[in-house]
Amino acid sequence: MIDRLIERIDELKSPVVVGLDPTEGVVPESYIKEAVEEVELNKMAVATAYFRFGCEIIDAIADIVPAVKPNIAFYEALGYEGIGAYIETVKYAKSKGLIVIGDIKRGDIGSTAESYATHIGFTHAAGHDFKVWCEDFVTLNPYLGYDSIEPFAKVLSELERGIFMLVKTSNKSSKDIQDLPIAYTTLGTLPLYEYVGGLVNHWGKDFVGKYGYSKIGAVVGATHPEEGERLRHTMDNTFFLVPGYGAQGGSAADLRGFFDKNGRGCIVNSSRGIIGAWKNSSGASVGEAARAAAISMRDDLNSVL
């Protein structure tokens, strides 16, 4: 899948991933109202509205960007109705040819991690293998170490899937833990995220595809341009998923160093900047505004490559 992702980025000249992060702030009120009228139960109605909103975005950008990144937290806030909407949104995106990065940020110890690994694999239950989830990639938290990754690695060795490990996140407090100085050698220290980045790069060695990038990628926030550039050099086989462009402050110029010399090596996410673009455009529909914003972002990134 990492190869397919790279190919789609090349084909579309668009290292862009659209974050599907529905909230009531970004989904038009009319969508909620309409769904409430139809579905009666409000919780299910909001989940239905989130699903429809996602479909409209997907239809509008499927030929512009290679991937979408639904963040399960927003759906999970609605309980199982929301989880249903998440799963249906993932399926719809895939039916439109999009690669889906499930932003789930899971991480648990080995035996339990097998259960989370069903997000990219199969659930064995009652004598059958069920495809309960169907993300192409998921994001994972590294704090519990390799055995929390192992069940996912097993899936990677069997199926065309991928994972992105959190290395340096885009939020302000990422420094609290991720920037701590590790006493790595007698010569000096290096920040924790760089050490984790090295581990992730090492874990990915067995899964390197034809473009030199592994099925095990890393999340590196656009809000840390210098760190991103340094990680690009040290994490030579690791593809980056880059949040933080736009609404969180990262610009295209900041991102040049996240790409390799061939203009590859990362995909940049925008959520609110694309799915909330209708709020700043007079008269454009949700889909029209998202499409224009995705095109503009693609062109913005290409201008520095």
- Cα radius of gyration rounded to whole Å, the chain: 19
Our finding on whether 173 is near a second copy (CB under 8 A) is: yes
Which of 5, 6, 45, 235 contacts a second copy by CB under 8 A? 45
Q: Is 153 in the site for a second copy (CB under 8 A)?
A: no
Cα within 13 Å of Cα(234), Cβ side? 17
State the minimum distance, in angstroms, from the CB of residue 272 to a second copy. 9
For a second copy, the binding residue among 123, 251, 281, 302 (CB under 8 A) is 123
Q: Does 202 bind a second copy (CB under 8 A)?
A: no
Q: Please report whether residue 178 would count as binding a second copy according to CB under 8 A.
A: yes
Q: How far is CA 8 from CA 4, 14, 226, 259, in A?
A: 6, 8, 27, 16
38 binds a second copy (CB under 8 A): no
Site for a second copy in 254-273 (CB under 8 A): none
Asked whether position 97 contacts a second copy by CB under 8 A, the answer is no
Among 51, 53, 92, 116, binds a second copy (CB under 8 A): 116
Q: In the annotation, is 105 catalytic?
A: yes
> Which listed residue (43, 91, 94, 105) is catalytic?
105
Is residue 293 within the footprint of a second copy (CB under 8 A)? no
Q: How far apart are CA 127 and CA 250, in angstroms?
A: 48
Q: Does 207 bind a second copy (CB under 8 A)?
A: no
Confirm if 234 and 184 have CB atoms less than 8 A apart.
Answer: no
Q: Which of 6, 58, 166, 242 binds a second copy (CB under 8 A)?
A: 166
* Catalytic residue ranges: 105
